Structure 1
Amino acid sequence: MKTALIIASNDNGLQPVFRVPNIRRLILLATRLGFDNVHIVGRINSIASAVSDLLPGSSLHTAEEPAQAKDVLQQMNLNEQERVLILKADVVIDRLSLSEFLEGAQSVRTARMELASNGTPDGIYMSHPDHLSEILEALWVPSATGAESLLRNVVSFPGRNGLPRLVDSRENDAGAAEEKLIGVLAAQTAQSDGFMARHFDRRISRFFSRKLVRTGITPNQVTLIGVSIGLTGALLLSLANYWAHLVGAMLFVFCVIVDGVDGEVARLKLMESRFGHYLDITTDNLVHVAVFAGIAFGLYNGSGNRLYLWALWFLLGGFAVAAVAVYQCIKRVDPKTFKQSPKLVRLMKMLSNRDFAYLVLLLALIDHLEWFLLGAAVGTYLFAVGLWLLTSRPGKEAAQVQ
C-alpha cells in the first residue's frame, strides 16, 4: 500500500474540522499511515492553496467530471499488484478506525468502510487498480449506473462511533463530525490507560480538549502548562505543612489530567510530532522526580528525619535500575513475542500508568505520605527484578513470558 487517491469532486473538502480543512486532515492521515504517494483528483484550482505545502504539483490532477478523472487514473500507471486507498475529500475519519480498516482489508481484493449513514456507495475503499475506475465513478456520482453492482462485489466493513461521515459546506455539519472525533478519543487510549485514567481523568481531559481544540493553542503549549502545574504541586509538597501537602497532591492529580489533554489535542488537530512526543515524556519524568523529591523534603522538613532523604536517593537509584531493565527488555524481546506476553504488557503499562497520583492524594489526605515514599523506593527495584526475570533468557522469551 503506497498510493492514496483523494476525490475532490466539489469544494466540501475545504470545510474546516477543528480549524483544519478536511482535505489536509486526510493527507496527513494518509502519510502518517505509510502512504508514500497521495494524489488528489478533482477541482484543484479551489483547493491547491490549502494543500500546496503538503503535496507537490505533480500530485494534483484537475478533473471536472468522472471521464476526466478516469483518464488521470490511466496516466498514473499504477502497479497492478498495488492496493490503493481511495476516498472523497469530504469524508471525516479518525486515525485508529482508518488504520484498523486498512489492516482488515489486506485479506480481500476490494474492501469498503461504510459511512455512518449506510445505504449509498459512499465510503472509504481499498482496492487493486483494476476496480478503481468503477469506484471512482461511484464516489463521484453515487447515483451513477453500476454503483449498486459495485457494492455487491466488495467486502464491507462497518464504521463505528458515527464515523466515517461526510461534511458539506454547513458549519453545523462539521461540528457534528468534530463531536464524533472527540467521542472516539477513548478508544484510542483504552489500551494504555489505567483504571482512574479511563474512568475519571479522560472524562475531564476531554472536556478541556473539546474547548482547546477549537482555539489556536498547540499541544506543546498544553504540555508546558501541565508541567508548570506539576512543579508547583511538587514545591508545595516540599513544605512542612499538611494543607500545603494536600493542595500539592491535588495539583499533581490535575497535572496528570492535563497531561491527557495535550495528546488529545494533538490527535484531534493531527499535530503529533516526534518533538512533542519526547517533550511529553521528558516533562512527565521531570514532574515525577520533582514530586518524589518534594514529598521527601516535605517529610524531612516536618520531622528532621534524614531517613526520608536517604529513601529519596534509594528511589532515584531504583529509577535508574528500572530504566536499564526496560532497555534490556527492548533489546531482547521481539515485538511479536512482546505483544503475546500478558505479563510483559502489564509490567510495561506500569511505566505509563499515572494512577498513582490518586494514591499520593489519598495519603496526603490522611497525612501519611511517608508510606508512598518508602513503598515507591522498594517498588522500583521489584519492577526491575520482575522485568529482568521475564526476559533474562534470550531465545526462550516466548516460553517464559506466556
Structure 2
Amino acid sequence: MNKSSIPSNPNPSSQNLCGILYLPMAPEIWDSKDWYAEPIAGVPFLSRNILTLQRSGFHEIIIYMDADGAEKLAPLLEKDPRVNVKIHWITKLDFLKVTLQNRRSQVLFFNGSALHDKKEVRSLLENEGIKTPEAFTISNEQIESFLEKIKAHGNKESKEFLKNSRSLIFIPGADHSQLRHPKDFKAMHERLLKGSGQNHDSAITRFLSRPVSRKLTRLFLNTPITPNQITLLSFAMGLGSAVGFAQGTYPMGVLGALLLLFSTWVDGADGEIARLKFMESESGGKLDIICDNIVHFFVFGAIGWGMGKATGDQTYIYLGALAAFASLASFILLGAVILKKNTNTRSTPSPTQSQTPLAEKLANRDFIHFLMLMAVTDLVQVFIVIAAIGATLFTSYLTYLRFTELRMAQSS
C-alpha cells in the first residue's frame, strides 16, 4: 500500500507502534481540506502532525475523519516526500471500533485539532502507561461518546472517561497548542519560529544572531530554497569575506567583517528552516559544520595575509597561519568528540564526552561579532593575535582530552 491511501481494509498491522489522529470537523465556514492544509511555518497543519508522530517513532498512523475530507487530504500526504510512515484512512466509526478491538498493542489517540510537539510525544512514549495531564486512558467501548466530546472541543470533559483500560490512551494536546480559530495559525507560527533556535545557543547567539536569522527564516520559509542551499549561500559569503580581509585595507576589512557577519546570520537560518520544515539530515549537518570550518580556516589565513601585506610585518602571516591550522585541528578533534558522544550515549562517558558541551560552546561563531568590532575600530591585527593564541589553546585542550581518553582505554 502507498504511504497515504484510503484502504478498504480498516485493520492495519498491530506489530508496530500505532497512533490514531482524529481530525474533527473544521470550524464554521472552513472546509476541512483548507483547514488541515493551512501551512504553519511552511508545513501544512496535517503534515506537521504526521511528521511529528513519524519523527517520534510511530510506524503507522490511522487518520479518522469524514469521507469527503479524507478524499481531499490524502493527496497532500501522498505528494510529500518527507512522509514515509504507513497511513491508514478510516472514515466510519464502526471500522474504527473494529480496528481498535483487533489490535493487540496499545494505541495512542491524538486530538488532530491540536499541534503536537515531538518532545512531548517522546516524553509520553518513554513513560508509557503513566497518566499525565496530557494523556488519559479510555476504553474502546467509550469511543463513540468520547468523540462527541472532542467534536465539541471538550478536552477537559474527557477526564470523566478515565478508566483502567490500557488499550487506548488519549492525548488532547496542551492548551496552547489547540487550533480552533483562524487566528490560532498565526499564533502557532510565531510560537514555532520563536522556538526554532537550539538549546546550546550562547547568550550572544540568542540576543545578537537569532533575532536576525529568524527574520531571514521568515523570508526563506515562503520559498522552495532548501537548508543545504542556504548553507552554501552562507559558505559563499564566508569565502567572500576572506577575499575582503586578504586585501589588507580598512574598507575591505570592514566589508569582510560585514560579509562574515551576514554569513553567520544566514548560517543560523539553515538550521531553523531544517527544523521547522522537518528537513534535518545527517548529510546536511555535516555540510553545515564543514562549510563553517572551511570559512574559519580561510578567514584566519586571509586576515594574517592582509595584515602582513599592509604592515610589511611577516609575523602576522605566521599568526594567521597558526590560527587557521589550529582552528582546522580543533575541528578535526571536536568532530571526533561529537561523533563519540552520539554513538556511545548508553556507555559510561569518557573524559572527552563529558567535556563536549564546553567544547561546543567554545567552538561556536560568537567570535565573529568581536571581529566586526575589531574591524570597525581598525584593530584587526589585535584580533589575529588573540585568535592565534585562543585557537592554539583550544586545540591543546582538545588534544589533552583525547590523550586522556586514550590512556584510560589502554589501562582498562
Which of the numbers 206, 209, 213 marks the counterpart of 1:201? 209
Once the two structures are TM-superposed, the CA of residue 284 in structure 1 deviates from its matched residue by 1.4
Structure 1 residues 229 and 5 mapped into 2: Cα distance closer, same or farther (>3 Å)? same
Secondary structure of the equivalent of 1:23?
helix
The answer as to 2:77 corresponding to 1:51 is: yes
> Aligned residue for 2:345?
335
Which of the numbers 104, 110, 122 marks the counterpart of 1:102? 122
* CA deviation profile, 1:119-167 (whole Å, cap 9, x unmatched): xxxxxx486xx7466578635642589833136989999977x742225
Structure 1 residues 256 and 185 mapped into 2: Cα distance closer, same or farther (>3 Å)? same
- Contact 2:115 2:177 (8 Å CA) reproduced: yes
Letter in 2 for 1:316: A
- Percent identity between the two aligned chains: 26
The answer as to 2:369 corresponding to 1:358 is: yes
Q: Whole-Å Cα distance in 2 between the matches of residues 380 and 136 of structure 1?
A: 65
Secondary structure of the equivalent of 1:284?
helix
> Aligned residue for 1:379?
390
* CA deviation profile, 1:161-199 (whole Å, cap 9, x unmatched): x7422256x4x442222122113224xx1x321221111
> Aligned residue for 1:118?
none
| Superposition map of 1:268-283 within 5 A | 268-283=276-291
Structure 1 residues 138 and 20 mapped into 2: Cα distance closer, same or farther (>3 Å)? same
Which of the numbers 146, 159, 166 marks the counterpart of 2:179? 166
| Superposition map of 1:226-237 within 5 A | 226-237=234-245
Q: Which runs of 5+ in 2 are unaligned?
A: 1-15, 26-31
Once the two structures are TM-superposed, the CA of residue 320 in structure 1 deviates from its matched residue by 4.3
Q: Whole-Å Cα distance in 2 between the matches of residues 343 and 368 of structure 1?
A: 33
Secondary structure of the equivalent of 1:166?
coil
Once the two structures are TM-superposed, the CA of residue 265 in structure 1 deviates from its matched residue by 1.9
> Aligned residue for 2:360?
348
| Superposition map of 1:2-401 within 5 A | 2-10=17-25, 11=32, 12-43=35-66, 44-53=70-79, 59-65=87-93, 67-75=94-102, 77-79=103-105, 82=106, 84-94=107-117, 98-103=118-123, 106-107=126-127, 109-111=129-131, 114=134, 125=135, 131=139, 134=142, 138-139=146-147, 141-142=149-150, 143=152, 147-150=158-161, 163-166=176-179, 170=182, 172-186=183-197, 189=198, 191-326=199-334, 329=337, 334-335=344-345, 338=349, 343-351=355-363, 353-390=364-401, 392-394=403-405
Once the two structures are TM-superposed, the CA of residue 317 in structure 1 deviates from its matched residue by 3.1
What is the aligned residue count? 371
* CA deviation profile, 1:312-356 (whole Å, cap 9, x unmatched): 3323332343245335545776436559977442123222x1110
Off by >6 Å, runs of 4+ in structure 1: 55-58, 152-160, 339-342
- Contact 1:92 1:163 (8 Å CA) reproduced: no
Once the two structures are TM-superposed, the CA of residue 241 in structure 1 deviates from its matched residue by 1.1
Structure 1 residues 194 and 174 mapped into 2: Cα distance closer, same or farther (>3 Å)? same
Structure 1 residues 290 and 234 mapped into 2: Cα distance closer, same or farther (>3 Å)? same
Q: Whole-Å Cα distance in 2 between the matches of residues 391 and 158 of structure 1?
A: 48
Q: Whole-Å Cα distance in 2 between the matches of residues 348 and 19 of structure 1?
A: 30
- Contact 1:249 1:364 (8 Å CA) reproduced: yes
Between 1:196-205 and 1:268-277, the stretch displaced more is 268-277
Once the two structures are TM-superposed, the CA of residue 268 in structure 1 deviates from its matched residue by 1.8
Once the two structures are TM-superposed, the CA of residue 261 in structure 1 deviates from its matched residue by 1.2
Letter in 1 for 2:95: Q
Letter in 2 for 1:208: L
TM-score normalised to structure 1 length:
0.78
- Contact 1:13 1:21 (8 Å CA) reproduced: yes
Once the two structures are TM-superposed, the CA of residue 19 in structure 1 deviates from its matched residue by 4.3
Structure 1 residues 207 and 330 mapped into 2: Cα distance closer, same or farther (>3 Å)? closer
Structure 1 residues 223 and 35 mapped into 2: Cα distance closer, same or farther (>3 Å)? same
Secondary structure of the equivalent of 1:59?
strand
Between 1:336-345 and 1:369-378, the stretch displaced more is 336-345
Secondary structure of the equivalent of 1:34?
coil
Q: Whole-Å Cα distance in 2 between the matches of residues 51 and 156 of structure 1?
A: 24
Structure 1 residues 21 and 111 mapped into 2: Cα distance closer, same or farther (>3 Å)? farther
> Aligned residue for 2:7?
none
Q: Whole-Å Cα distance in 1 between the matches of residues 325 and 144 of structure 2?
A: 60
- Contact 1:229 1:254 (8 Å CA) reproduced: yes
Once the two structures are TM-superposed, the CA of residue 18 in structure 1 deviates from its matched residue by 3.4
- Contact 1:360 1:372 (8 Å CA) reproduced: yes
Between 1:230-239 and 1:314-323, the stretch displaced more is 314-323
Q: Whole-Å Cα distance in 2 between the matches of residues 274 and 332 of structure 1?
A: 15
Structure 1 residues 198 and 139 mapped into 2: Cα distance closer, same or farther (>3 Å)? farther
Structure 1 residues 133 and 373 mapped into 2: Cα distance closer, same or farther (>3 Å)? farther
- Contact 2:111 2:172 (8 Å CA) reproduced: no
Secondary structure of the equivalent of 2:248?
coil
Letter in 2 for 1:350: L
Letter in 2 for 1:71: V
Q: Whole-Å Cα distance in 2 between the matches of residues 50 and 274 of structure 1?
A: 26
Between 1:292-301 and 1:16-25, the stretch displaced more is 16-25
Q: Whole-Å Cα distance in 1 between the matches of residues 37 and 380 of structure 2?
A: 54
- Contact 2:59 2:86 (8 Å CA) reproduced: no
RMSD of aligned alpha carbons: 3.7
* CA deviation profile, 1:13-63 (whole Å, cap 9, x unmatched): 333323432221122222222222233233432321111256689731322
Structure 1 residues 222 and 348 mapped into 2: Cα distance closer, same or farther (>3 Å)? closer
Secondary structure of the equivalent of 1:185?
coil
